[in-house]
Structure 1
Amino acid sequence: MTEHDDRYAVPATAAIPADAPMFNRAAWIRILPFAAYLLFIVIGDVSERLGVRPDALRWLYPAKIALVALLLALFWRRYHELSRFRLAPSTAAIALAAGVAVFVLWISLDAGWMVVGAPAGYDPRVDGRIAWLLVAIRIAGAALVVPIMEELFWRSFLMRWVDDPDFESVEPSQPSTKSFVITVLLFGFEHNLWLAGIVAGAAYSLLYMRHRNLWSPILAHAVTNGLLGVWVVRTGSWSYW
């Protein structure tokens, strides 16, 4: 059953003036948490090049997740698409299944040509032993914080903004083929496993468009990341982190 949200059923608006800003306030509160996340990736890369020890760099992830979570909390009341968690049982089941399927594909689509670069991953071992606090923070961040931050940016904002800078006026089921393809490709190449990223981006985008509810791709994304975290720890495949 398709869930419809009347908040998106808005009448057509007048053309946006040529001197209007590229991003409005609604856009910025979806961009900033994502930008903060990317900033820490840059900080980590620069620090590594400057010779900062890997064991010190491990703590950048908790700091990154803390900052992103803080920004999400500050803007939470303005994310109207997250105001209530409401998914019909059938919708939740589809999202859960999609999350599992994406996880299986993620660890399978790893041939050499499907990978960009040589990711070092996130190794939570200290003196050869797993630091379970770091593991807990990593899995919690990946399964609880990252899905919300990324789905707000990629699906709620960017996929609709490509079609209309007044992106909130675009109904979730109506993004154009152009916006779908652009978003999926960019999401894919955000990851070292670019093909797996494209598959994941397509799955999450289709869930959003089909269910018209951002919680659907968030749930699927959370399942994928949570399962991936458990699998990484069990197998020691740190490069997948």
Structure 2
Amino acid sequence: MKTAPPFGLSSAALARSIPFVLFMGLLALRGALPAGGALDPRWVYGLSVAIVGGALFWFWKDYGELARQNRPNARQTLWSVGIGVAVFGLWIHLDAPWMQLGEATASFVPVNDQGQLDWPLIVLRWIGAALLVPVMEELFWRGFLMRWIESPQFETVDPQRVGLKAIALSTFVFMLAHTLWLAAIVAGLAYAWLYVRTGRLWCAVIAHAVTNGLLGIWVVHSGQWQFW
């Protein structure tokens, strides 16, 4: 007898949701751990990279939108990089107090007790933010949630036919997961537009990766750790 998938979600929906849920759960754990305790919450991020990366690897064959035949062409790739750069430029300037939803619950300051940069932590954080998070988040927010809002049979939804309602609602939920709400709206709409415009989720992933990668370099250079 075949058992139904948990929570009424299909196996395809679970494959795109589980890595995201794991990441958010570990993020909550980082925020709950006291600074200076037996377990440094910053190194829990390494656990996130390992566990979420493992989950993505496990489900990779199920991500048809990231299959070889769905890779972007050169023009689409250039557009994605350009959008990623533009979102980065806006993100670091959309940080006025009224543009923030409270404070980050899991800050990440890779500085040791002597006030020196902790490069292993920095590299770990950058790898997670620039390489892992874009794949994990785009699979969930745009690949799954945006199309699921359009139709519960989301795998049958052509991203180029997704309506404004699905784009707006998925971007709104995306905003709630970020402290800088206005910056998150701009980013969410930009990545959604790329996916809808090109039909390639890789375009959204590339743009997201460029944004996060540049943000990480800028944060380390400027010491504006609140953006991490």
Pairwise same-fold verdict (TM > 0.5): yes
Cα offset for 1:22? 3.5
Q: Are residue 240 (structure 1) and residue 195 (structure 2) matched?
A: no
Q: Are residue 36 (structure 1) and residue 18 (structure 2) matched?
A: no
User: Which string of whole-angstrom CA distances, capped at 9 and with x for unpartnered residues, describes residues 95-154 of structure 1?
Assistant: 000000000000000111001112263100111111101101111111110000000000
Determine which of 165, 172, 194 is the counterpart of 1:207: 194
Tell me which protein shows more helix as a share of its residues: 2
Q: Which runs of 4+ in 1 moved over 6 A?
A: none
Is the 8 Å Cα contact of residues 55 and 126 (structure 1) preserved in structure 2? no
State the identity as a percent: 44
Over aligned residues, Cα RMSD in angstroms? 1.7
Q: What's the secondary structure of 1:125's corresponding residue? A: coil
The verdict on how the C-alpha distance between 1:126 and 1:54 changes in structure 2, with shifts beyond 3 A counting, is: farther
Is the 8 Å Cα contact of residues 31 and 107 (structure 2) preserved in structure 1? no
Partners of 2:39 and 2:87 in 1: how far apart? 31
Is the 8 Å Cα contact of residues 56 and 136 (structure 2) preserved in structure 1? yes
| Residue correspondence of structure 1 range 98-117 to structure 2 within 5 A | 98-117=83-102
Is the 8 Å Cα contact of residues 96 and 220 (structure 1) preserved in structure 2? yes
Which has the larger displacement, 184-193 or 211-220? 184-193
Determine which of 78, 82, 90 is the counterpart of 2:75: 90
Aligned to 1:46: 32
Cα offset for 1:197? 0.3
Partners of 2:151 and 2:56 in 1: how far apart? 24
Aligned to 1:193: 180
Determine which of 205, 211, 214 is the counterpart of 1:227: 214
Q: Structure 1: which 5+ runs fail to align? A: 1-20
Task: State the TM-score, normalized to the length of structure 2.
Answer: 0.92
Partners of 2:150 and 2:201 in 1: how far apart? 18
Q: What is the count of residue pairs matched by the alignment?
A: 220
Q: Structure 2: which 5+ runs fail to align? A: 1-6
Partners of 1:34 and 1:104 in 2: how far apart? 26
Task: State the TM-score, normalized to the length of structure 1.
Answer: 0.87
Cα offset for 1:164? 1.3
Q: Are residue 57 (structure 1) and residue 44 (structure 2) matched?
A: no
Cα offset for 1:46? 2.4
Is the 8 Å Cα contact of residues 188 and 197 (structure 1) preserved in structure 2? yes
User: Which string of whole-angstrom CA distances, capped at 9 and with x for unpartnered residues, describes residues 190-211 of structure 1?
Assistant: 1100100010000000000000
**Partner amino acid, structure 1, of 2:46:** P
Cα offset for 1:64? 0.7
